[in-house]
Structure 1
Amino acid sequence: MERLLPQLALDLSEPAPGNLSGLFAADVEDLRLEIGFGGGEHLIHEARKTPSCGFFGVEPFVNGMAKAVAAIKGEELTNIRLYDGDAANLLDWLPSQSLSRVDLFYPDPWPKRRHWKRRFVNADNLARIHRALRPGGVFRFASDIPSYVDWTMIRALRHGGFAWPAETAADWREPYPGWPGTRYEAKALREGRRPAYLTFFKS
């Protein structure tokens, strides 16, 4: 954490460079963002699987960040940059239409009604995601909390700039292709909660 994280951490105090690919040691052709990567299972899996893609990972909790840094060091990955603050700040910092995909998996559901205003999915953050995505870019959301799934569906479609192409129940009940799963998801499945996997395209 003391040696490697400062090299991986994004500095938002300066404007974003014109060429975001230059932020990575690897030669990357595509850019994606994962918001709240938890223990980093999916982030590391994707970075390993797609070395030509640069990944921005956001996680405010130190334990999750430490796990990701350890995995990045152990696997010598050079296509990940990290940020430990509010993902809204990073989305504002990124240039318009700079990302091909934004992933938000198992965010805090804030289940009590009086806390719903704290949910990450809201009109302002959906506007931020939409601005950062390229035309045809993808926003993926997974959760095991039905009320949050419904909440996200309603707000994404209300935004007007996202299309949901699902045709059958399998399109949201089955995990994404190549999905590695996460520890949180495994716990949800053990406890009998069935996740939903939503995919929206920037229209």
Structure 2
Amino acid sequence: MQNPQHSPIRSFGRTGGRPLSARQQSLVDNLLPRLRVPADKEALKTPLQLFETAPQTLWLEIGFGGGEHVSAQAEANPDTGILASEVFVEGVAKCLSDIEEKKLTNVRLWDEDVRELVAMLPDACLDRVFILFPDPWPKKKHHKRRIIQPDFLDALARVLKPGAALRFATDVRSYADEALHRFLQHPAFIWQADRADDWRVPPADHFTTRYEVKKLGDIDPVFFEFNRDG
């Protein structure tokens, strides 16, 4: 167990909200244990074997909110295994509902700090990562809690395959500026933009999230696409 004095700064806020409905609680109690990624580094040496049928590619979505992007991508890409991370129990319950309704077999869930999961994954195992509208921690004194930090980019670079894709999206100007700077400063990530529309217009394979619809940020959403160098 980690020494609390050396634990990483928490990059997320509350993990609970309104009480779950009876159906949601049943899904959390009965379906989540079957789909939860094991906190076992040995088991994660072969992450494709977490799925009923080994997928051809492996993706990771970090902080999936209500899970609508996860379920839409899983449905559109049945040969891809998706590791989906979210600590907010209501979001996990909503995602479980989509998984059950759509009969998805290619999603596995992680409901703890994603940095712990990434640390257990083997080198060069991921073909794609999504970080869509993470908690912006808007107050300047809280910026250190934002998930896009140099050490986390180091961790992602290790688990991404050469040429793998990473998509980061936000609707908070200060986070967009800070995150882009951190990605550009990191030698492992190559920004794929050639013109403004490459970050101002949602990518063709993007599925709109509930968060986007609320328009809570101070700018229109921006989408930064990177490839893992090498």
Corresponding position: 1:174 with 2:201: yes
- The match for 2:161 among 128, 134, 140 is 134
Q: Which residue of 2 aligns with 1:124?
A: 151
Q: For residues 108-145 of structure 1, give each alpha carbon's deviation from its aligned partner in whole angstroms, at most 9, with x where no partner exists.
A: 11111110100000001111111110000111100000
Q: Unaligned 5+ residue runs, structure 2?
A: 1-27
Q: Which residue of 2 aligns with 1:90?
A: 117
SS of the residue aligned with 1:177? coil
Whole-Å Cα distance in 2 between the matches of residues 15 and 149 of structure 1? Answer: 36
Corresponding position: 1:195 with 2:221: yes
Q: For residues 76-126 of structure 1, give each alpha carbon's deviation from its aligned partner in whole angstroms, at most 9, with x where no partner exists.
A: 110000000111111111101000111000001111111010000000111
SS of the residue aligned with 2:124? coil
Q: Is the 8 A contact 1:175 1:197 kept in 2?
A: yes
- The match for 1:61 among 78, 81, 88 is 88
Corresponding position: 1:70 with 2:83: no
Question: How many pairs were matched up?
Answer: 202
Q: CA deviation at 1:193?
A: 3.4
Instruction: Give the partner amino acid of 1:202.
Output: R
Q: Is the 8 A contact 1:16 1:94 kept in 2?
A: no
Moved more, 20-29 or 127-136: 20-29
Runs of 4+ that moved beyond 6 A? none
Q: Is the 8 A contact 1:30 1:53 kept in 2?
A: yes
Q: CA deviation at 1:157?
A: 1.1
Whole-Å Cα distance in 2 between the matches of residues 119 and 18 of structure 1? Answer: 28
Q: Is the 8 A contact 2:58 2:125 kept in 1?
A: yes
Whole-Å Cα distance in 1 between the matches of residues 45 and 138 of structure 2? Answer: 40
Whole-Å Cα distance in 1 between the matches of residues 183 and 206 of structure 2? Answer: 23
Corresponding position: 1:155 with 2:182: yes
Corresponding position: 1:28 with 2:55: yes
- The match for 2:67 among 11, 34, 40 is 40
Whole-Å Cα distance in 1 between the matches of residues 175 and 53 of structure 2? Answer: 36
Q: CA deviation at 1:14?
A: 4.3
Q: For residues 13-63 of structure 1, give each alpha carbon's deviation from its aligned partner in whole angstroms, at most 9, with x where no partner exists.
A: 342344321100134110000000000111000000000000000000000
Whole-Å Cα distance in 1 between the matches of residues 88 and 77 of structure 2? Answer: 25
Q: CA deviation at 1:192?
A: 7.0
Q: Kindly, what percent of the aligned residue pairs are identical? A: 41
Q: Is the 8 A contact 2:172 2:218 kept in 1?
A: no
Q: Is the 8 A contact 1:140 1:197 kept in 2?
A: yes
TM-score by length of 1: 0.96
Instruction: Give the partner amino acid of 1:104.
Output: I
Q: Is the 8 A contact 2:55 2:80 kept in 1?
A: yes
Q: Which residue of 2 aligns with 1:15?
A: 42
Q: Is the 8 A contact 2:36 2:109 kept in 1?
A: yes
Whole-Å Cα distance in 2 between the matches of residues 197 and 99 of structure 1? Answer: 20
